Structure 1
């Protein structure tokens, strides 16, 4: 075997191992998952878990697994402008998550991850009176996602995994104290790429 052949084999082997490490797997059974895959919301640590098709089916019924894992829906609905000032959160890039216990949290991205505030449940109820579609938001697994930064006007009902993807975009692109020149174009692109889904 030539040195070139051995080196090529070593490079290929290293690339294969890197691809295997980078490949996403099911958080429940470790099976490989496709790029487009289902998610479950883990109510204990309040985290989204990647799951394969068979594992997602196990938790499709309400109450399966004693409600510990809840399927994250795929629905996305673009809303007309929603006056989120009623909720008392002075942030232009934020998502609001109604919880199963009746509370509502607001979370905004930062370079360190999502910042979190409690929103008055009465204020959320007033807002759902103004925008009845918000009453359909499924607790814990859907959110009202808002971007009014730089004069934009995006208001969406989205699955919670979309919100975490948006937080990841901010963390990945943020530079320095003010965010730098990459973060806001990346956030705008994130919102441009959202599409409505039933």
Structure 2
């Protein structure tokens, strides 16, 4: 899933809600609640909004011939995960294992998400050190990490949470260093994750 495509989706969804007053299901065009399920579209490599009834169609693995996968809702806080060997130079990042065995890391920036390929062997070693990482569902879940300003957040989350975090950073960033609004907004995002888990 490309960060640019998912971020564009979040921005379009916000614009659609503003223009029409409500967001709609990408499959049947029915209105959806503010909190609603998402599908991962493997053909377009992006996340799509879906209403409750349509989401039921994709609840079983293999439904839709694997083209659409329901994004799970679980959020699990992990003990500290050593991400240093994964070779990512930032403290706010998410790691998405892919169905083909690769792993991507994406970090938010004022221009959207930056993306890196992660060494697959390094990811396997991280999963050996933290066995819960082996349960991350490819393409639809991620390891989300925040070690900025002394924070220690390590979570398994749905990928749509990660793209919401990217949108928060992009919306709140000011100037070269981020300004005074971005890091309090990131802290609120992680406080909300704690409440929702």
Please report the TM-score for the alignment, with normalisation by the length of structure 2: 0.88
Aligned to 2:149: 150
Distance 1:196 1:70, change over 3 A: farther
Distance 1:52 1:120, change over 3 A: same
Measured against aligned partners, the alpha-carbon deviations of 1:6-51 in whole angstroms (never above 9, x if no partner) come to: xxxxxxxxxxxx8661311001111000111111011122211110
Report the CA distance between 1:59 and its aligned residue: 1.3
Structure 1: gaps of 5 or more residues: 1-17
RMSD: 1.5
Aligned to 1:47: 46
1:194 counterpart SS class? helix
Measured against aligned partners, the alpha-carbon deviations of 1:135-174 in whole angstroms (never above 9, x if no partner) come to: 0000000000000001111000000010000001001101
Report the CA distance between 1:66 and its aligned residue: 1.5
Report the CA distance between 1:90 and its aligned residue: 1.2
Q: Which runs of 4+ in 1 moved over 6 A?
A: none
Is residue 173 of structure 2 the alignment partner of residue 164 of structure 1?
no
Aligned to 2:84: 85
Aligned to 2:30: 31
Please report the TM-score for the alignment, with normalisation by the length of structure 1: 0.88
Aligned to 2:121: 122
Question: Quick one: distance in 2 between partners of 1:182 and 1:107?
Answer: 21
Question: Quick one: distance in 1 between partners of 2:190 and 2:116?
Answer: 23
Question: Quick one: distance in 2 between partners of 1:30 and 1:102?
Answer: 34
Number of corresponding residues: 181
Question: Quick one: distance in 2 between partners of 1:169 and 1:141?
Answer: 20
Measured against aligned partners, the alpha-carbon deviations of 1:31-90 in whole angstroms (never above 9, x if no partner) come to: 000111111011122211110011111111111111111000000000111100011111
Question: Quick one: distance in 1 between partners of 2:20 and 2:110?
Answer: 26
2:24 counterpart SS class? coil
Query: Highest Rg: 1 or 2?
Result: 1
1:40 counterpart SS class? strand
Question: Quick one: distance in 2 between partners of 1:156 and 1:89?
Answer: 17
Question: Quick one: distance in 1 between partners of 2:150 and 2:191?
Answer: 14
Question: Quick one: distance in 1 between partners of 2:129 and 2:85?
Answer: 10
2:69 counterpart SS class? strand
Question: Quick one: distance in 2 between partners of 1:128 and 1:190?
Answer: 25
Report the CA distance between 1:197 and its aligned residue: 6.5
Which deviates further from its counterpart, 41-50 or 154-163?
41-50
